[in-house]
Amino acid sequence: MLVAPETHWNTGNIGRTCLGIGANLHLIEPLGFSLESREVKRAGLDYWTDVQVSVWEDFTTFQEAVAPRAAEVALFSKRGGRNFWDISSQPRMFLIFGSETHGLPIDILSADPDGIYHIPIRRNIRSLNLSTAAGIALYESLRNYPNFHQWLPESAVS
């Protein structure tokens, strides 16, 4: 899930990654671009039309409609207290990232301070690219899930 994403190519890249493993992409408005823009479609390549995208007016609307349990939610912030390697593996997971320049809003972070994860990086850079961080977190969340390779065709498993 991306909360108020600002950059079309990150969203397109993340959408393509979601499609590659069968995940849905949830977007919380406001979006800093149109989902119909050629830049989003270009980043998602010819796969964009197959990405399962849900756009929500706000985070509260998403929570009311989807009702994620606490164990199903992993918030990501560079100031997170838990390492991303500690993400639990649930049948349904929501990996939640904020915008490229502001991160997650404080009201979302403060609602679950024990559910905030970080991806360790050296201190000489501010952050990872959003689509890179989302890809790392998505695959890590699957790594410990039993039999996740069943979701992929045999030819894709090495």
In tens, the pLDDT along 23-50 reads 999 999 999 988 887 776 676 567 778 8
Q: Dihedral sign, CA of 41, 152, 130, 115?
A: positive
In which residue are the tokens 């009311």 written? Answer: 64
In angstroms, rounded to a whole number, what is the distance separating the alpha carbons of residues 120 and 127? 9
The domain in which residue 106 lies consists of 2-156
In degrees, rounded to 5, the angle at the alpha carbon of residue 83 between the alpha carbons of residues 146 and 18 is 50
Specify the number of domains making up the chain. 1
147, amino acid identity: N
Per-residue pLDDT reduced to its tens digit, 54-81: 999 999 999 999 999 999 999 999 889 9
Contact call for residues 26 and 54 (beta carbons, < 8 A): yes
Per-residue pLDDT reduced to its tens digit, 108-150: 999 999 999 999 999 898 889 999 999 999 988 887 766 666 6
pTM recorded for the entire structure: 0.89
Q: What is the CATH number of the domain that holds 101?
A: 3.40.1280.10
Residue 86 is given by DSSP the state G
In angstroms, rounded to a whole number, what is the distance separating the alpha carbons of residues 75 and 116? 5
